C-alpha cells in the first residue's frame, strides 16, 4: 500500500492527483487543481509551492511523479512553466519525497497502452482504472494519469529488485 | 540603512550579492555563488532554494532584486533557467522579502550608465561603486549589479512617495 502523488505543473493551474497502490491496482484518493490567480509572480509561485506541500501533508504520499517537458511552444512559455515546475519540485523535495519524471508519451503508454492516445482517451482510462463516475478537471486528470504511470513504473521494477522509480523514470537532471 | 539582496539565477550557478544602502550610496556586505553540483534535478533545485534562504537568514536583507529574462537561447534552456528561478523566487517569498525584477538593460543602465555596457564594464563599475579590490566571480558580480540596480531604483522612488520597487521594477507576473 503506497500513496503516490502525480503533479502536472502549469503557470496558471497545477493539477494534482493522489492514488493508493494496493499491489493489485490503484485506487483513487484525491485530485484537484492549484490555481495561481492573478497576483505577483512570487505570490503565484508561492501558491504552487505551498499548495503542493499542503497536498503532501494532507494525504501523505511517499513518492511523486511529475510530467517531463520536452518541448514548450517558445522560450517565454518554457520559462514560465519552468518557474512553476521549480516551485512544485522544491515543494516535493522539502517534504522528503522521492521524485521521478515521465514524458507525456510514457504517461499515455502506461495509462492508455499507446503513446499516441488523445487527451480524451487518457481521461477515459483514468476514470476506468480509478472507477470514477464523474469527469475530473483536465489538469487533475492529467495529474492522476502521471500518478498511475508512476505507480505502474514503480511496481514493474519491484520484482526485479529495482525499487526506485528514478532508474526508469529518467534521472532528474537540471 | 537597508540591506538589499541581488540574485542572478542559473541552472548550474546562482550568484548572490548583498549590499547596504546607506542613503548616500551602497556598501558591500557579501557575495558569492550557489553551485548546484551534479545531483538529481530536485536535489539541485533544493540547493538553490536552501542556499538563497540561508543567504537571507545569514545577512538579513529585507528586499530582493532578480534578473528578468526576456530571451533564452532556446526552450530547453529557458525551462532549466525557469526552474532555478522558480526555486530562488519561492525562497525569497518564503522568507517574506519584497521581490522586484529587472531586465539586463535596466541593470546595466543603473550601474554603468548605459544599457549597452559590456560584462567587463559592469564588473568594473560594481568594483568601483563598492570599493572592491579584488574581482568577484562573474555570477557574484552580476548579482551585486542587480542589488545596486534595485537599491538605485528604490531610492529614486522614495522622494516621490513611491516607496515600492515593484512599480518601477516591473510587476512580477507569471
- Note which residues in 73-92 of chain A have CB less than 8 A from chain B: 73-87, 89-90, 92
Q: Is B53 helix (H, G, I), strand (E, B) or coil?
A: helix
| Residue A1 scores a pLDDT above 60 | yes
**CB–CB of A82 and B86 under 8 A?**
yes
What pLDDT score does A69 carry?
A: 76
Which DSSP symbol is given to A137?
A: P
Other beta carbons within 10 Å of B71: 11
| Residue A128 scores a pLDDT above 70 | yes
Active site residue B21: no
**Cβ atoms of A119 and A16 closer than 8 Å:** no
**CB–CB of A75 and B80 under 8 A?**
no
| Residue B122 scores a pLDDT above 90 | yes
CB of A167 within 8 Å of a chain B CB? The answer is: no
Active site residue B120: no
| Residue A172 scores a pLDDT above 60 | no
Q: Is B57 helix (H, G, I), strand (E, B) or coil?
A: helix
Q: What's the gap in Å between the CA of B161 and the closest CA on chain A? A: 21
Cα B60 to Cα B4, B33, B46, B96: the distances in Å are: 9, 17, 20, 11
Cα B75 to Cα A118, B79, B100, B112: the distances in Å are: 24, 6, 24, 30
Per-residue confidence at B174, pLDDT binned at 50, 70, 90? very low
Q: How far apart are CA A62 and CA A114, in angstroms?
A: 28
Helices A138-157 and A119-129 pack at an angle, to 10 degrees, of 60
**Domain B2-157, classified CATH 1.10.287.130, yes or no:** no
SS3 for A46-86 is: HHHHHHHHHHHHHHCCCEEEEEECCCCCCHHHHHHHHHHHH
Which DSSP symbol is given to B158?
A: G
**Cα-flanking dihedrals φ and ψ of residue A142, to 5°?**
-60, -40
Q: Is A162 helix (H, G, I), strand (E, B) or coil?
A: coil
Per-residue confidence at A155, pLDDT binned at 50, 70, 90? confident
> What cell numbers appear for B57 in the block?
537568514
Task: Tell which of B12, B41, B96 to mutate to test the A interface (max A CBs under 10 Å).
Answer: B41
Q: How far apart are CA B15 and CA B55, in angstroms?
A: 11
| Residue A2 scores a pLDDT above 80 | yes
| The model's pTM | 0.86
CB of A53 within 8 Å of a chain B CB? The answer is: no
Cα R_g (chain B), whole angstroms: 15
What pLDDT score does B74 carry?
A: 80
Taking contacts as CB-CB distances below 8 angstroms, the residues of chain A near B83 are 82-83, 85-86, 89, 174
Q: Comparing B45-49, B89-93, B160-164, which segment has the lowest mean pLDDT?
A: B160-164
What mean pLDDT is predicted for residues A9-16? 94
Q: How far apart are CA A146 and CA B169, in angstroms?
A: 38
Per-residue confidence at B71, pLDDT binned at 50, 70, 90? low
**CB–CB of B86 and A45 under 8 A?**
yes
Taking contacts as CB-CB distances below 8 angstroms, the residues of chain A near B79 are 69, 72, 78-79, 81-82, 85
Give the tens place of pLDDT for each residue, A20-53. Answer: 999 889 999 999 999 999 999 999 999 999 999 9
Task: Number of A to B CB contacts under 8 A, please give it.
Answer: 140
Q: How far apart are CA B111 and CA A104, in angstroms?
A: 44
Active site residue B8: yes
Chain position carrying cell 522568507: B95
What mean pLDDT is predicted for residues A143-172? 64
Amino acid at each position: 500500500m503506497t500513496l503516490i502523488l502525480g503533479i502536472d505543473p502549469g503557470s496558471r493551474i497545477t493539477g494534482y492527483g493522489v492514488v493508493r497502490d494496493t499491489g493489485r491496482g490503484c485506487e483513487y484518493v484525491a485530485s484537484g487543481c492549484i490555481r495561481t490567480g492573478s497576483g505577483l509572480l512570487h505570490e503565484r509561485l508561492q501558491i504552487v509551492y505551498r499548495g503542493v506541500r499542503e497536498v503532501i501533508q494532507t494525504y501523505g504520499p511517499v513518492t511523486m511523479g511529475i510530467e517531463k517537458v520536452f518541448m514548450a511552444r517558445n522560450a517565454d512559455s518554457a520559462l514560465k512553466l519552468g518557474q512553476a515546475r521549480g516551485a512544485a519540485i522544491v515543494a516535493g523535495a522539502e517534504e522528503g519525497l522521492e521524485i521521478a519524471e515521465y514524458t507525456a508519451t510514457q504517461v499515455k503508454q502506461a495509462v492508455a497502452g499507446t503513446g499516441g492516445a488523445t487527451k480524451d482517451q487518457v481521461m477515459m482510462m483514468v476514470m476506468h482504472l480509478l472507477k470514477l463516475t464523474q469527469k475530473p478537471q483536465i489538469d487533475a486528470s492529467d495529474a492522476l494519469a502521471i500518478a498511475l504511470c508512476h505507480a505502474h513504473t514503480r511496481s514493474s521494477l519491484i520484482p526485479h529488485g529495482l525499487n526506485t522509480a528514478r532508474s526508469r523514470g529518467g534521472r532528474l537532471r537540471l
